[in-house]
Amino acid sequence: EIVLTQSPGTLSLSPGERATLSCRASQSVTSRSLAWYQQKPGQAPRLLIYGASSRATGIPDRFSGSGSGTDFTLTISRLEPEDFAVYYCQQYGSSPSTFGQGTKLEIK
Amino acid sequence: VQLEQSGAEVKKPGATVKISCKASGHSISDFYIHWVLQAPGKGLEWMGRVDPEEGETKYAEKFQGRVIITADTSIDTVSMELNSLRFEDTAVYYCARSRWLLEGPFDDWGQGTLVTVYS
| Per-residue pLDDT tens over the stretch A50-79 | 999 999 999 999 999 999 999 999 999 999
pLDDT band at A32 (very low <50, low <70, confident <90, very high): confident
Tell me the one-letter amino acid at A100.
G
In contact, A44 and B109? CB cutoff 8 Å: yes
Q: What is the pLDDT of residues B60-79, one digit of tens each?
A: 999 999 999 999 999 999 99
Q: CA-CA distance, A8 to B41, in Å (whole number)?
A: 17
Query: What pLDDT does residue B41 have?
Result: 95
Q: Residue B109: its chain A contacts at CB < 8 A? A: 44-46
Examine the pLDDT at B31 and tell me if it is beyond 90: yes
Examine the pLDDT at A31 and tell me if it is beyond 90: no
Q: CA-CA distance, A26 to A45, in Å (whole number)?
A: 23
Q: CA-CA distance, B49 to B43, in Å (whole number)?
A: 18
Query: What pLDDT does residue B51 have?
Result: 96
Which chain A residue's Cα is nearest to B42?
Answer: A101
Mutation for B interface: A49, A97, A103, most B CBs within 10 A: A97
Cross-chain CB nearest to A99 (options B45, B61, B110)? B45
Backbone angles phi, psi at A5, to 5 degrees: -115, 120
Q: CA-CA distance, A21 to A89, in Å (whole number)?
A: 10
Examine the pLDDT at A30 and tell me if it is beyond 90: no
Cβ distance of B43 and A100 shorter than 8 Å: yes
Cross-chain CB nearest to A33 (options B96, B104, B109)? B104
Q: Residue A50: its chain B contacts at CB < 8 A? A: 104-105
Chain B residues with CB under 8 Å of a chain A CB are 34, 43-46, 58, 60-61, 94, 96, 98, 102-112
Q: CA-CA distance, A94 to A1, in Å (whole number)?
A: 8
pLDDT band at A3 (very low <50, low <70, confident <90, very high): very high
Mutation for A interface: B19, B103, B111, most A CBs within 10 A: B103
Which chain B residue's Cα is nearest to A34?
Answer: B105
Strands B91-99 and B108-109: antiparallel
Half-sphere exposure of A56 (CA within 13 A, CB side): 17
Query: What pLDDT does residue A27 have?
Result: 97
State CA B84 to chain mean position distance.
16
Interior CA angle at A70 toward A65 and A72, to 5°?
15
pLDDT band at B57 (very low <50, low <70, confident <90, very high): very high
A31 contact partners, CB below 8 Å, separation of at least 6: A93
Chain A to chain B, count of Cβ pairs less than 8 Å apart? 59
The SS3 assignment for B35 reads strand
Mean pLDDT of chain B: 96
Which chain A residue's Cα is nearest to B43?
Answer: A101
**Alpha-carbon dihedral of residues B26, A57, A34, A31, nearest 10 degrees?**
80
Tell me the one-letter amino acid at B30.
D
B5 contact partners, CB below 8 Å, separation of at least 6: B19, B20, B21, B22, B93, B94, B95, B110, B111, B112, B113
Q: CA-CA distance, A49 to A35, in Å (whole number)?
A: 5
